[in-house]
């Protein structure tokens, strides 16, 4: 049979479909054959990612946030001219008088000028840890008067005092004498390694 076409296009003759005998013969020949996947490889499911402990991560984030963003009460933030001081409850206020008079000499000092709040808190914690380890009792912490900060407010001054009140090893603190820095510094008395 000759292929017919129009304008160079060849049309091939139709192929006949296999007979039922041919189909039966083919099925008998492939009866024991197991089908394979189209690409010829075994498909493995990808490994599951490890579970993420979201609640633990959230708790850790909250602790870090709280440690860096301490709440300061409004009455602590507004100074009324009186110098801020602190003595651990249950101890004599005589400790404050002696600290103001300079009966204890500063054995170490920390200057926090130019640090951001988070940096200052970390430096303060490291400094107090080292002082405690060395058995240092009296220190001077220079926080500045806030003249170089936004709105010329003593931001670190308030935060340092708040952080000190939270520390268990702090017995008392007072504003430094003018010769020791005045309103830009604080004199701090720490617990002794034995007994205060």
pLDDT tens, position by position, 164-186: 988 889 999 999 988 888 888 99
Q: Is the pLDDT of residue 102 over 70?
A: yes
Among 108, 193, 101, 111, smallest CA distance to 160 is for 111
Q: What is the mean pLDDT of residues 15-24?
A: 82
Alpha carbon distance 167, 64 (integer Å): 17
Q: Is 179 helix (H, G, I), strand (E, B) or coil?
A: helix
pLDDT of residue 40: 64
Residue 146 lies in a domain: yes
Q: What is the pLDDT of residues 122-151, one digit of tens each?
A: 999 999 999 988 999 999 999 888 776 666
pTM beyond 0.75: the answer is no
Among 189, 164, 194, 186, smallest CA distance to 91 is for 189
The number of distinct structural domains making up the chain is 1
Residue 3 lies in a domain: no
DSSP H/E element including 189: strand 185-190
Q: What is the pLDDT of residues 52-91, one digit of tens each?
A: 787 777 777 766 666 655 554 433 433 444 567 889 888 8
Dihedral sign (CA 146, 148, 153, 155): negative
Residue 31 lies in a domain: no
Alpha carbon distance 95, 88 (integer Å): 10
Q: 122 lies in which domain range?
A: 84-190
pLDDT of residue 109: 94
Residue 101 lies in a domain: yes
Residue 12 lies in a domain: no
Residue 20 lies in a domain: no
CATH of the domain at 171: 3.30.1370.110
User: Which of 94 and 153 is assigned the larger pLDDT?
Assistant: 94
pLDDT of residue 65: 64
Alpha carbon distance 86, 163 (integer Å): 12
Residue 124 lies in a domain: yes
């Amino acid at each position: 049979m000759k292929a017919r076409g129009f304008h160079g296009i060849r049309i091939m003759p139709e192929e006949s479909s296999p007979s039922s005998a041919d189909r039966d013969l083919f099925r008998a020949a492939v009866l024991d054959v197991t089908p394979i996947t189209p690409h010829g490889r075994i498909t493995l499911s990808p490994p599951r990612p490890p579970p993420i402990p979201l609640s633990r991560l959230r708790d850790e984030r909250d602790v870090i946030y709280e440690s860096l963003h301490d709440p300061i009460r409004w009455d602590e933030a507004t100074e009324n001219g009186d110098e801020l001081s602190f003595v651990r409850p249950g101890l004599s206020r005589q400790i404050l008088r002696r600290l103001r008079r300079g009966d204890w000499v500063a054995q170490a000092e920390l200057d926090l000028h130019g640090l951001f709040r988070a940096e200052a808190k970390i430096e303060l914690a490291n400094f107090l840890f080292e002082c405690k380890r060395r058995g240092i009792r009296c220190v001077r912490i220079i926080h500045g008067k806030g003249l170089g900060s936004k709105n010329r407010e003593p931001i670190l001054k308030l935060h340092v005092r708040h952080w000190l009140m939270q520390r268990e090893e702090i017995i008392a603190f007072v504003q430094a004498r003018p010769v020791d820095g005045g309103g830009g510094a604080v004199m701090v008395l720490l617990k002794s390694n034995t007994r205060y």
